[in-house]
């Protein structure tokens, strides 16, 4: 019998991905100001990654208002999708990663473009509203992060460019 190889799936910004295939690893790479919400149901062996760029959709209209780009639209859709496809809300392990900020941003330009911080706050608010406790958070700072979810184990690894991954 030939062992099945692991397949890595990159989740670009503005999209989410669900999987119940234990041979798949979902990845979001170089997550900077964006925010990644990882959800995993260990009882169903099902999980997913949502990779969103901006906190609130109110700034956009028409074609610019793609739901996956915005936390306020994309995150509820992600949660709905994962529960619809066999994930149990009561068992979901939720982790939030990303939301980096430009350096020393309190200076002359005030709080313009503090998207990273607001992405993290908005994600927490929505998850709280959905009744989903956040198990781990790794947000803020000034470095991008790579995030990896192993569907076989639910293990989430995070790394900064040029550094070794850590399990969170």
Of 72-80, 84-92, 126-134, 136-144, the segment contacting another protein by CB under 8 A is: 136-144
Instruction: Work out whether 108 is an interface residue with another protein (CB under 8 A).
Output: yes
What strands lie across the sheet with 93-98, from one edge to the other? 15-19, 46-52, 35-41, 93-98, 134-139
Distance CA 58, CA 131 (A): 24
Instruction: Work out whether 115 is an interface residue with another protein (CB under 8 A).
Output: yes
Instruction: Work out whether 53 is an interface residue with another protein (CB under 8 A).
Output: yes
Tokens of 93: 């392990």
Tokens of 123: 């994600």
Instruction: Work out whether 160 is an interface residue with another protein (CB under 8 A).
Output: yes
User: Least distance (Å) from another protein to the CB of residue 104?
Assistant: 5
Which residues face 49 on adjacent strands? Answer: 17, 38
Q: Which is nearer to another protein, 86 or 161 (CB)?
A: 161
Distance CA 36, CA 97 (A): 5
Instruction: Work out whether 30 is an interface residue with another protein (CB under 8 A).
Output: yes
Which residues face 38 on adjacent strands? Answer: 49, 95
Q: Which is nearer to another protein, 11 or 54 (CB)?
A: 54
Binding site for another protein (CB under 8 A): 12-14, 29-34, 53-54, 59-60, 63-64, 66, 69, 100-105, 107-116, 141-144, 160-163
């Amino acid at each position: 019998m030939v062992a099945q190889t692991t397949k890595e799936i990159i989740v670009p910004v503005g999209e989410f991905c669900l999987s119940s295939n234990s041979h798949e690893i979902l990845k979001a790479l170089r997550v900077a100001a964006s925010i990644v919400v990882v959800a995993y149901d260990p009882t169903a062996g099902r999980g997913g990654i949502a990779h969103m760029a901006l906190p609130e959709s109110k700034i956009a209209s028409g074609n610019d208002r793609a739901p996956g780009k915005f936390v306020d639209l994309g995150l509820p859709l992600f949660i709905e999708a994962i529960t619809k496809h066999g994930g149990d809300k009561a068992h979901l392990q939720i982790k939030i990663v990303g939301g980096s900020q430009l350096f020393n941003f309190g200076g002359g330009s005030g709080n313009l473009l503090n998207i990273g911080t607001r992405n993290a706050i908005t994600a927490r608010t929505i998850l709280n509203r959905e009744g989903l406790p956040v198990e781990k958070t790794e947000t803020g700072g000034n470095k991008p992060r790579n995030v990896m979810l192993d569907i076989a184990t639910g293990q989430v690894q995070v790394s900064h460019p040029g550094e070794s991954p850590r399990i969170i």
